[in-house]
Chain A
Amino acid sequence: DGGITQSPKYLFRKEGQNVTLSCEQNLNHDAMYWYRQDPGQGLRLIYYSQIVNDFQKGDIAEGYSVSREKKESFPLTVTSAQKNPTAFYLCASSLRKGIGTGELFFGEGSRLTVL
């Protein structure tokens, strides 16, 4: 079955540690995205990539980093510079490269808790 796989589902981190969230898709989609979801707020775009080896900052990129070395993979690193990292992180992909036109397919999410 085609889809998006995020791991881990739950992650606990101590303050000052970097963590990497994995996102893999087998939908052959060009574009991939990372969103952050907090209670009572809409999804906020962290980073997006429309093609391999290229990515762009979203609205809340500070304290995060990404890479896009393969079409299927778009890992997100939450660095110690992110001041409030506890959140639900969602990875998505879309077939079309235009970031506003694509129907988004989401993974199951990764819940990060900073202790």
Chain B
Amino acid sequence: QKEVEQDPGPLSVPEGAIVSLNCTYSNSAFQYFMWYRQYSRKGPELLMYTYSSGNKEDGRFTAQVDKSSKYISLFIRDSQPSDSATYLCAMSAGGYSSASKIIFGSGTRLSIRP
């Protein structure tokens, strides 16, 4: 079983819809949670960064972390065609050893139809 599971999609929704992207994980030591957006043939860029449980909002994006369920979500409101990309979740326990490294999900490909 992978440490981080993410549905690869593809997910296609109409412009203006609310998008929900999710990841589950198995390591209860994870406490740093991130969402990266990756456009085709580009490097990932950090969208959201949260520590421990709770919600974090930034514009149209909301990140949720439920540590009791080992489940994280990214919501995109009023989705735009420019949001079409692959979204990678990532998480780590934090620290300096190699055991603390960031683990990435395999990514969900999202397409917003105009």
Among A4, A56, A98, residue most surrounded by chain B Cβ atoms (within 10 Å): A98
A42-B105, A99-B101 are known; give 4 further A-B pairs, CB within 8 A.
Answer: A42-B107, A103-B34, A106-B36, A108-B42
Q: Which residues of A contact B93 (CB under 8 A)?
A: 100
* Bound form: Cα–Cα A40–B108 in Å: 9
- Write the B82-96 contact mask toward A (1 if CB under 8 angstroms, else 0): 000000101011111
- Write the A84-108 contact mask toward B (1 if CB under 8 angstroms, else 0): 0000001010000111110111111
Tally chain B residues at the interface, Cβ within 8 Å.
Answer: 30
Query: Is there an interface contact between B44 and A103, defined as CB atoms closer than 8 Å?
Result: no
Q: B residues within 8 Å of A by Cβ?
A: 2, 4, 6, 8, 32, 34, 36, 41-46, 49, 88, 90, 92-96, 98, 100-107
Using a CB-CB cutoff of 8 Å, which residues 1-33 of chain A contact chain B? 4, 6
Min CB–CB distance B22 → chain A (angstroms): 15
Query: Is there an interface contact between B41 and A109, defined as CB atoms closer than 8 Å?
Result: yes
Q: Which residues of A contact B43 (CB under 8 A)?
A: 4, 6, 90, 92, 106-109
* Bound form: Cα–Cα A105–B42 in Å: 12
**Could you give 9 example pairs across A and B, Cβ below 8 Å?**
A42-B88, A42-B105, A48-B101, A99-B95, A99-B96, A99-B98, A100-B101, A104-B46, A106-B43
Using a CB-CB cutoff of 8 Å, which residues 30-87 of chain A contact chain B? 40-43, 45, 48, 50, 56-59
